[in-house]
Amino acid sequence: MTDILEFRSAEYYSSALRQSQKIGWCYSATGKSVETDSFPTVLFLHGMRSDYTGWWNNTKFAATVSKYPGLYVFANSDSHGWYSDGFSDSLRCEQAIIEDLIPWVKSTLPAPPSRSMWAVAGQSMGGYGALKLALKYPRLFGHALSFSGALNVTRLPEYHQVFGHPVADRAYRRANDLFYLAEEALCEMPIERPHISLNCGTEDPFVEASRAFHQHLQFLGYGHKYWEEKGQHTWPYWNRALRRALPELLAQMSPISGG
């Protein structure tokens, strides 16, 4: 069957949000059949002031994935929701992904059952979301990829609309803190931990946060991939980084790598 590299969109109902949510996806079906085969699946998360069309519209996505059979899914979420359930019980962005979006994808699209064939990736806010979701739900995601992630958001010293007050809501912040979640993941068998990859541009304001998390993983002995290259917090950098990171990610995704 020929490749299907057009962007497709649909809506599904999110019980967590009590409303319909949009979703986008595309197939790269080289050598596979969308009728009979399941595909390595990568869930892409957007950053602030973006939506589910961001990755497709702002990178050369089709050209990049054309060589790699896969199902590429683009989530839509609150532009300031941080893929989290807010401390004040007013947000359900994490629940919407885990309890509504993932089951919809598995029941509607040719997605695999094995967590080793599932990855979650994102840039900026979505980079934090990708690592957080994989570390909290390692039985759903075998791999996580952060592009220029705001990885220290739960450690900021001021009040945050999602993560609350640094003192009064410290327990909630800790439960969503990547540094703590990585430590918790070490309690799992190595084969049950998500593979982590992260990158950032050297001129990006979040580069120090990426370096700090990389160093924390090194200290813990949590194997991962980290790299930097020249670039800022912009789509041209993420377009280049996608071309480099995607083949490495897909090479790790196989039915026998766990789960």
pLDDT tens-place string over residues 86-112? 888 778 999 999 999 999 999 999 898
240 falls within a domain: yes
Share above pLDDT 90 across residues of the chain, in percent, rounded to a whole number: 80
The C-alpha atoms of residue 76 and residue 211 are separated, in whole angstroms, by 28
Confidence of residue 30 (pLDDT cuts 50, 70, 90): low
The C-alpha atoms of residue 71 and residue 83 are separated, in whole angstroms, by 21
The C-alpha atoms of residue 139 and residue 122 are separated, in whole angstroms, by 19
Lowest-confidence segment of 86-95, 141-150, 230-239 by average pLDDT: 86-95
pTM value?
0.93
Give the list of residues 6+ apart from residue 80 with CB closer than 8 angstroms, or none: 48, 125, 161, 162
Q: What is the CATH number of the domain that holds 164?
A: 3.40.50.1820
The pLDDT mean for the chain works out to 92
Using an 8 Å Cβ cutoff, are 212 and 218 in contact?
no
3-state secondary structure 40-94: CEEEEECCCCCCCCHHHHHCCHHHHHCCCCEEEEECCCCCCCCCCCCCCCCCCHH
Residue 192: the pLDDT is 87
Alpha-carbon Rg of the chain, whole angstroms? 17
18 falls within a domain: yes
Looking at the structure of the chain, the number of domains it has is 1
**Burial label, 33 (beta-carbon count in 10 A; 0-12, 13-18, 19+):** exposed
Would you state the structure tokens that stand for residue 60, as one six-digit string?
A: 């050369």
199 falls within a domain: yes
248 falls within a domain: yes
Reported as half-sphere exposure (CB side, CA atoms, 13 A), residue 31 has a value of 5
Residue 67: the pLDDT is 86
Q: Helix, strand, coil proportions of the chain in percent (round to 5)?
A: 35, 20, 45
Confidence of residue 34 (pLDDT cuts 50, 70, 90): low
Mean pLDDT for 195-212 is 98
1 falls within a domain: no
35 falls within a domain: yes
Confidence of residue 31 (pLDDT cuts 50, 70, 90): low
Q: Does residue 29 or residue 39 have the better pLDDT?
A: 39
Domain that residue 81 falls in = 8-252
Confidence of residue 4 (pLDDT cuts 50, 70, 90): low
258 falls within a domain: no
257 falls within a domain: no
**Burial label, 256 (beta-carbon count in 10 A; 0-12, 13-18, 19+):** exposed
